[in-house]
Amino acid sequence: MREYLNKNPLTFPASASGQIKRETIILWLFNFHNHVNQSLGRQPFAFDLLELEYGQGRFDEAVAHAKQIVSELDKLWVGVLSREWRMSITYLCNLINGGPL
């Protein structure tokens, strides 16, 4: 996991809009989730199902799932620059809470 996280940091240009940041975070989490699924021998989650699974009033479940992912990431993100980690978590928490990116 560390290798994946080091090779795939969550970053975007400073000038990126909130919508671009939101879409980048969603895609990054989606890709990371599927990487974890693959490493566990599970089937990948289809991108087409994201809106259906998490975008239709299942906010509480999405928040709980995101918190679980963040907890897992926190354990795995050893050796990655802490600044990038803090920024990633800040963006993710703001996205989850519907706040500004």
Residue showing tokens 């980048």: 24
What confidence score (pLDDT) does residue 50 get? 77
Tell me whether residue 27 is in a domain.
yes
Report residue 20 CA to chain centroid gap: 14
What confidence score (pLDDT) does residue 78 get? 64
Tell me whether residue 72 is in a domain.
yes
Name the burial class of residue 26, with classes exposed (0-12), middle (13-18) and buried (19+) by CB atoms within 10 angstroms of its CB.
middle
Tell me whether residue 73 is in a domain.
yes
> How many domains are there within the chain?
1
Tell me whether residue 11 is in a domain.
no
Taking only the tens place, the pLDDT of each residue in 17-52 is 878 887 888 888 889 888 988 988 999 988 888 776
Taking only the tens place, the pLDDT of each residue in 47-99 is 888 776 666 555 566 667 777 777 776 676 666 666 666 677 677 766 666 65
What confidence score (pLDDT) does residue 62 get? 66
Residue showing tokens 């699924």: 37
Structural domain that includes position 58: 2-6+16-96
